[in-house]
Amino acid sequence: MEKKGSIHIRVDTTAKEEAVKVLKRIGISITEAIEMYLRQVTIEKAIPFQLSLNEKKERNYRLSVRKSATINVFISEKIKTEAEEVLECLGLSTATAIEIYLRQIVFTQNIPFLISLHKGNTR
């Protein structure tokens, strides 16, 4: 049985709530989505989607009151460790990377990257 690690992060409440709605329509949990995201970070050794800035949205976001929510997920200890190593090289905390990921789910109304199996990876 694969060991499970946990990540406790605080993210923007609206991003979390809206992402959960989208993920529910897709048929996966937030934990499953975050684990897929961390697997993709590990496979690609990078954030698995293009980041861009919408200046108008960013300006409105900075003016709005930030509320945060907590997400507790249990994921593979190996994936957590490997993803954190990649994110550290990118200068990102796990919390920041996951908040970016949730915002991309809301923005694209989908998982923002192609989900595929890595050759030689049975799970």
Each residue's pLDDT expressed in tens, for the chain with a length of 123 residues: 677 788 888 888 888 888 889 888 888 888 888 888 888 888 888 888 776 655 555 555 444 445 667 788 888 889 889 999 998 888 888 888 888 888 888 888 888 888 776 665 554
**The model's pTM:** 0.46
Angle between helix 94-108 and helix 30-44 axes, rounded to 10 deg: 110
